[in-house]
Structure 1
Amino acid sequence: MATLTANEQRHAASLKAIEESPFLDARCGSCKELGESLEELLPLYEHNEDWDEVQLDEDLMTCSLRFTNLGAQWSASSGLPEMYGEYRVLHFYDVLDQPEGPPAMSGATEFQRQFLSEIRLFDNTPRSGAGMMSFIRLQPNVTPLEIWFQDIADIGGDPYPPGYLKMDITYCQYLDALLLTKGTYGWQYLYTDISLRGGDFQSKVNYLRGMLEAFPEIFPEHDYTPLRERLEARL
Structure 2
Amino acid sequence: MGYRIDAVLFDLDGTLLDTAPDMARAANRVLADYDVQPLTAAQIQANTSYGANGLIKAGFGTIPAHLNPTHLRQQFLDYYHDEICLKTSMYSGIDTLLSYLNKNKVPWGIMTNKPEFLTQRLLPYFPVLSEAEVVVCGDTLDKAKPHPDPLWHACQLLNIPPESCLYVGDIEKDMIAARAARMPGAVAGWGYIGDEHHPDLWQAQAILPEPAALIPILEQHNRNESAFFNQSCCTQK
Fold shared, TM-score > 0.5 on shorter chain: no
TM-score w.r.t. the length of structure 1 is 0.28
TM-score (norm 2): 0.28
Structure with the greater relative contact order (CA < 8 A, sep ≥ 6): 1 or 2?
2
